Chains A and B, each alone.
Chain A
Amino acid sequence: MAQSVVVQVGQCGNQVGCRFWDLALREHAAVNKNGIYDEALSSFFRNVDTRSDGDGPGIYKGKICSLKARALLIDMEEGVVNEILQGPLRDVFDSKQLITDVSGSGNNWAVGHKLYGYQYRENIVEKLRKTAEHCDCLQCFFIIHSMGGGTGSGLGTFVLNVLEDEFPEVYRFVTSVYPSGEDDVITSPYNSVLAMKELNEHADCVLPIENESLFDIVNKIHQMISSGKLGSTVKQNSLVTSSAGSARTVQEKPFDAMNNIVANLLLNLTSSARFEGSLNMDLNEISMNLVPFPRLHYLVSSLTPLYTLADVNVPSRRLDQMFSDAFSRDHQLIQADPKHSLYLACALLVRGNVQVSDLRRNIERLKPSLHFVSWNQEGWKTGLCSVPPVGHSHSLLALANNTCVKPTFTALKDRFMKLYKKKAHLHHYLHIDGMEQSCFSEAISSLSDLIEEYNELDATKGGPRTDPSRLQIAL
């Protein structure tokens, strides 16, 4: 089985990453009762002998000794990473997987990308090589970062470039947290647009996330629980926002609930690659099926169900509800409504006790209300993984390549232009070595082109359909 490496950059990246590793351990603990280091574990974890240094040779079979995450933790401040290393996950990381500095990037993409990038390039490459050497078949890098700050955004996209240069054959999946309109970082539009250009050019797939959506989901769950509308109790560990049953026990930090959602997204995304099922969906298949043109690689994701009730027997109507929810705007992880926009492609990854007939029935049911691009009218990619997530009997991850991402990008562009027209704060960027005005104009141009591609596709929506004529054979 192939391995994946997680590169978490910046405060947001590391906080989400921390939740990811915690929940991954919880998931594997639930499945792996015998404590044997198996192929599924090896996709994200190494097994090392604790007697030798953490850098010791990996143990490939047999009992679990000590699990080490295949990860690289990068932050230009020490606070977040230090906290992780003092917390319950400290044994999962070893000191050689960290790159930290003290002063931070000051919410400045140029500091992250040009300054620290240049400074730490060699160190980054060396540490990446080390993690790659520990893999017998490295398939994918997952980058987790935010777009609005300086480190995650700037240094994160620098690492993306490095990955493309050093490991061109390995897939690059990026989970990017986009800033909301009321973001308190004034320069977040600059940082985001500069980062977007890098994502456009160097990422294989991007999963955009918006804090507002995560926040809404957290609220929705709180409301449901406190309103007492749910007849029976909710299984605590089934909440998509919960850390119950994981290493972190008591005090949940403020963003933990929201970050758990993203962590669950990554777990579900990789579930069919790690666990068995009747129709496997590997990471390279996701990229293959959902990216029809190289630059259109932004995937809107949704997770259902958000929680399960304690009673186990689930009639199939509830199963169908899960599919319906996956397409509702409340469940998307960005502020978007895929139902009213145009689908280029859609993937459904089901986990647990769901069979192909359930999948087919729901696709048939939902298809008529969705708009698909003319050349991909039946563009569905499906996967069935037998192992459900912790606390659930079944779950669904929907990934959509849909023009509903456009508003997020347009809003970003507008906020950028507001600042740029007045040249506000530009000097902070331009005085960094390697930064020029052209960086900005190229970045906004790249974003505009992307928006234009989505516009052109939208224009075809609902229009008359003329199929191209087929080849004629001379008889």
Chain B
Amino acid sequence: MSIVTVQLGQCGNQIGHEVFNAICSDVHGTHGLCSKKENESYHDACKERFFCEEESEVPIARAVLVDMEPKVISQTLSMAARSGYWKYDDRSHFCQKQGSGNNWANGYSVHGPRHKEVIMNLVQKEAEKCDRLGGFFTIMSMAGGTGSGLGAFVTQCLRDAFPTSFILNHVIWPYGTGEVIVQNYNSVLTLSHLYQSSDALLVHENDVIHKICAQLMNIKQISFRDVNQVIAHQLGSVFQPTYTAEGGLHYSRNPLGDLMETLVPHPEFKMLGLRNIPQMPENSLAYSTFSWPGLLKHLRQMLIANAKMEEGIDWQVQPPRLGSSLPSSHSTNRPLHFNTSIANLVILRGKDTHSVDLGSFRDPSLYTSWLNPQDAFNAWKTPRAFNKYEKSASLVSNSQFLLKPLDNVVGKAWNMFASKAYIHQYTKFGIEEEDFLDSFTALEQVISSYTIL
């Protein structure tokens, strides 16, 4: 089944381009450390998911590019074509002239309805090119106006037009100290609206990725391109083909469906965090070896202690001992900084994945009590190495990972809202104070739900 990617706004388009780059270079540019047959299966599965192949042409990404101003899309299209390994469909994009001015209301209430037909036509065309549609993957930032506002509107349209398809929103959390002054308003409005139409939100925080670039990748002058490449690597580690069943013979063909099934048992809990290890500069790869027990120990502790990367993990945090506590766990029973999970997914790529012991992730004390620990945890594997890493482990987690960032954003937005600053910019385009209050209420509900896990 194929995934149609919708790239929204400057951020969405810049990241989308890096994602397709990463996927392509993984498939073509790296060895894979496995048999030829394995490689071919991987290649075919990947192609089916992300690319459309015309005869004698390079693979064409299954993507729709949307932006309200032209510079980024024209850059993205030309950079992709120049790579020689893949490109976008020349007609599969839509842009306007003026941009959304970082105004969510402009993106949602003005640009959305105005351009709905054109955009949905492009999406429909891409969907029709798929033999079987596996769902939609949208990439957007929350801070600006187009990705956030128009993105929320488009997600709603996708839900209306494709009621049974899976929709996964990849959302970029902006730097805490400003990229955009009204970013907290835009974020609150985006998240509350996405929560209604999306199946799950997969989040990347700029601050976190920036730290990874600085401390793990040793990049001195970090550019947005560097940040986007790390994000693309992490996304690739989730979406490249895997075997989802133990002893499976074929690569899974329904990645979005599988993801939702394993991670989103309840519609109130849609916030997914992503961790990937190891991360290091490319030129160090040749000198490093890792063992699965070592990697998994780190990954598990990152989960428990809510560490954002594999350095600086707090090893003191431990799950509480179960036994005498009541079946329905209250937050008072757990140490405050322990990260409780609803469901987790570990993805292993590379050598010797068949012999890995994942028992530590099945420990019931990591989870809430709703799901059987057997159901709360899943693992996908492939012997095919990813992107030059001999071994690579990813964790996609529906847990309290994003509770604190969410609480922060809502807190700052509320603080600003209390003074009514900037509200006139939104009411100008039809988003009233009532709409803000509805969004705040919806998100406080989500925060509350995640807090009492």
Contacts and interface: CB of A to CB of B under 8 A. Distances in A.
Interface in A60-80: none
Nearest to A280: B10
A376 B103 CA distance: 17
A468 B413 CA distance: 11
Contact of B178 (A358, A375, A382): A382
B181 interface: yes
A278 B222 CA distance: 12
Interface residues of A, number: 50
Contacts of B214: 357
B425 interface: yes
B181 A376 contact: yes
The listed residue with most B CB atoms (<10 A of its CB), out of A136, A280, A344, is: A280
A357 B2 CA distance: 36
Interface string A252-283: 00000000000000000000000010111010
B210 A379 contact: no
B98 interface: yes
B448 interface: yes
Nearest to A357: B222
Contacts of A316: 221
Contacts of B421: 292-293, 344, 375-376
B445 interface: yes
Interface stretch (B25-33, B41-49, B66-74): B66-74
Given A279-B224, A345-B181, A360-B177, A288 B103 contact: yes
Contacts of A285: 99, 101-102, 145, 180
Contact of A288 (B97, B101, B213, B452): B101
Nearest to A473: B448
A375 B418 contact: yes
A470 interface: yes
A279 B10 contact: yes
Interface string B1-16: 0000000001000100
Contacts of B19: none
B221 A358 contact: yes
Contacts of A184: none
A162 interface: no
Given A280-B72, A382-B178, A382-B179, A470 B414 contact: yes
Contact of B71 (A276, A355, A357, A380): A276
Nearest to B437: A471
Nearest to A139: B98
Interface in A148-171: none
B389 to A, nearest CB: 24
A384 interface: yes
B63 interface: no
B75 interface: yes
B410 interface: yes
Q: Which of A278, A288, A291, A345 has the most CB of B within 10 A?
A: A288
B370 interface: no
B69 A280 contact: yes
Nearest to B213: A357
A356 B221 CA distance: 8
Given A1-B97, A284-B98, A292-B422, A378 B225 contact: no
B444 interface: yes
Contacts of B145: 285, 288
A282 B69 contact: yes
Interface in B398-453: 410-412, 414-416, 418-422, 424-425, 440-441, 444-445, 447-448, 452
Contacts of A471: 414, 440-441, 444
Contacts of A468: 414-415, 418
Contacts of B420: 293
A470 B99 CA distance: 33
A382 B227 CA distance: 16
A289 B223 CA distance: 23
Interface in A370-406: 374-382, 384
Contact of A287 (B101, B178, B179, B440): B101
A364 B181 CA distance: 16
B416 A376 contact: yes
A467 B224 contact: no
B-side interface size class: 35 or more
Given A1-B97, A287-B101, A355 B177 contact: no
A290 interface: yes
B102 A289 contact: yes
Nearest to B71: A276
Interface in A317-365: 344-345, 347, 355-358, 360, 363-364
A2 interface: yes
Interface in A419-475: 467-468, 470-473, 475
B175 interface: yes
B397 to A, nearest CB: 24
Interface string A234-245: 000000000000
A137 interface: yes
B61 interface: no
Interface in B208-250: 210, 213-214, 219-225, 227
Contacts of B180: 285, 289, 381
B335 interface: no
A139 B100 CA distance: 12
B242 to A, nearest CB: 32
Contact of B411 (A287, A357, A382, A467): A467
A294 interface: yes
Given A2-B98, A291-B425, A376-B416, A363 B70 contact: no
A381 B444 contact: no
B182 interface: yes
Contacts of A470: 410-411, 414, 444
Given A280-B69, A282-B99, A471-B441, A290 B224 contact: no
Interface string B167-194: 0000000011111111000000000000
A282 B101 contact: yes
Interface in B131-145: 145
A198 interface: no
B10 A288 contact: no
B224 A356 contact: yes
A39 interface: yes
Given A39-B70, A292-B422, A381-B179, A278 B101 contact: no
B36 to A, nearest CB: 40
Nearest to A284: B101
A129 interface: no
A282 to B, nearest CB: 5
A384 B224 contact: yes
Given A284-B102, A284-B103, A285-B180, 10 more contacts: A1-B71, A279-B179, A355-B224, A356-B210, A357-B213, A357-B222, A379-B181, A467-B411, A470-B410, A471-B440
Interface of B: 10, 14, 69-72, 75, 96-103, 145, 175-182, 210, 213-214, 219-225, 227, 410-412, 414-416, 418-422, 424-425, 440-441, 444-445, 447-448, 452
- The 7 A-B residue pairs with the shortest CB-CB distance in the complex, in nearest-first order: A284-B101, A380-B178, A357-B222, A137-B97, A292-B421, A468-B418, A278-B224
7 contacts: A139-B97, A282-B101, A284-B99, A468-B414, A468-B418, A471-B414, A473-B444
